[in-house]
Copies of this chain bind each other. A is one copy, B any other.
Amino acid sequence: MQLIDGKATAAAIKKEIAEEVARRVEMGLKRPHLAAVLVGHDGGSETYVRNKVLACEACGFTSSLIRFEDDVTEEELLDCVARLNRDQDVDGFIVQLPLPPHISEQRIIEAIDYRKDVDGFHPINVGRMAIGLPCFISATPKGILELMRRYGIETRGKKCVILGRSNIVGKPMAQLMMQKEFGDATTTVCHSHSAHLKKETLEADILISAIGQPGFVTADMVKPGAVVIDVGTTRVPDASRPKGFRLAGDVDFDNVAPLCSYITPVPGGVGPMTITMLMLNTLEASRRELYITYHD
């Protein structure tokens, strides 16, 4: 069994990005610039946005953070999005979700210029990904592909089973795993209404779990030799930890790991890749190569 070290991989990628940025700056090009919009003071969002700023620094990016209080109006937020769309220095930006209930997340997402939508959530990017056109691929699926690629995990013709069908992980992951240009795998999506779940998972050469139920994937559900990717990161109360919680994956790691050829731990597996892929998307945005010019 080999542990897939997301933390080390993410660090290696950030180093590669920083090297490219240094080369670009030396050539007289500007630094990539990622902006983040944060509404309110949700603990998880604060942490995530702080980590983005740190990752920008590690990559040599310019970063900016625009803060609003919880009582910001949708109109004010749309104005901010419009400003960032126009700002020539900003290559990409994200609006940190969730937003307060009086604001339509979908409306905000659709207001973002898709050429700056480094989260890959705009319907145009979702659609372009589905039909195999160049686009920003959202961070978590992109990070999983990158981990498998760097660990030399063969996916072509393999059987991939995905647990979960969320818009940000399960669905895009399935679309990427089935496509010739990416996974090229026989791809199955299971979810809360799937009958015979264990029968499905037992056939998986590659099992990707993204349901957010700690310990859901048990040893009797995993084929010996399988690659197991655990996308779950549920906060489980734990008084012995400084923060009062620990992160738990979907997989019963201790019992499943000995069966696997490769497995991602939680934490330290898929998680660290997510922000790094956002950096990669921002670098791609600054290169202006993804979208052909007739859109301008």
Residues on A facing B (Cβ under 8 Å): 106-107, 110, 122-133, 156-159, 165, 167, 171-172, 174-175, 178-180, 184-191, 193-196, 200, 294-295
A186 & B200 in contact (Cβ 8 Å cutoff): yes
B178 touches A186 (CB 8 A): no
Contact A127 B122 (CB under 8 A): yes
* Cβ-closest chain B residue relative to A190: B186
- Bound Cα distance from A180 to B165, whole angstroms: 9
Chain B residues whose CB sits within 8 angstroms of the CB of A295 once the complex forms: 110
- Interface residues of A, dominant DSSP: mixed
Interface centre among A123, A133, A165 (most CB of B within 10 A): A123
Please pick, from B171, B179, B185, B200, the residue contacting A130 in the complex, using a CB distance under 8 A: B171
A174 CB, nearest partner CB in chain B, Å = 7
The answer to whether B186 touches A189, judged by C-beta atoms less than 8 angstroms apart, is yes
What is the bound-complex CA distance between A193 and B128, given in angstroms?
A: 23
Q: Which residue of B lies closest to A193 (CB)?
A: B157
Contacts of A124 in B (CB 8 A): 123-124, 127
Which residues of the other chain, B, contact A171 by a CB distance below 8 angstroms?
Answer: 130-131, 175, 178
Q: A262 vs B261: C-alpha distance in the bound complex, in angstroms? A: 41
In this complex, which of A195, A196, A295 has the most chain B Cβ atoms within 10 angstroms of its Cβ? A195
Find out whether the CB atom of B179 lies under 8 angstroms from the CB atom of A186.
no
Instruction: Supply 15 further A-B pairs (C-beta < 8 A) apart from A131-B171, A180-B193, A184-B193.
Output: A107-B294, A110-B295, A123-B128, A123-B133, A127-B128, A130-B171, A131-B167, A157-B195, A171-B175, A171-B178, A174-B174, A178-B191, A184-B191, A186-B190, A188-B188
CB of A210 to closest CB in B, whole Å: 13
Complex A-B: 10 CB contacts under 8 Å = A123-B123, A127-B127, A127-B128, A159-B196, A174-B174, A175-B175, A178-B191, A180-B193, A186-B189, A186-B195
Which 8 pairs of residues, A with B, have the shortest CB-CB distance? A127-B127, A123-B127, A126-B127, A188-B188, A186-B194, A178-B189, A131-B167, A157-B193
> Closest residue of chain B to A126, judged by CB?
B127
A84 to B51 alpha-carbon distance, docked (Å): 48
Residue of B nearest to A189 (CB): B178
Nearest residue, chain B, Cβ from A121:
B131
CB neighbours of A128 from chain B (8 A): 123, 126-127
Q: Is A178 a contact of B195 with CB atoms below 8 Å?
A: no
Q: Are B195 and A158 in contact (CB under 8 A)?
A: yes
Partner of A193, one of B127, B131, B132, B156: B156
- Give the Cβ gap from A44 to chain B, nearest Cβ, in Å: 22
Assembled-state Cα–Cα distance A194/B177 (Å): 12
Contacts of A178 in B (CB 8 A): 165, 171, 174, 189, 191
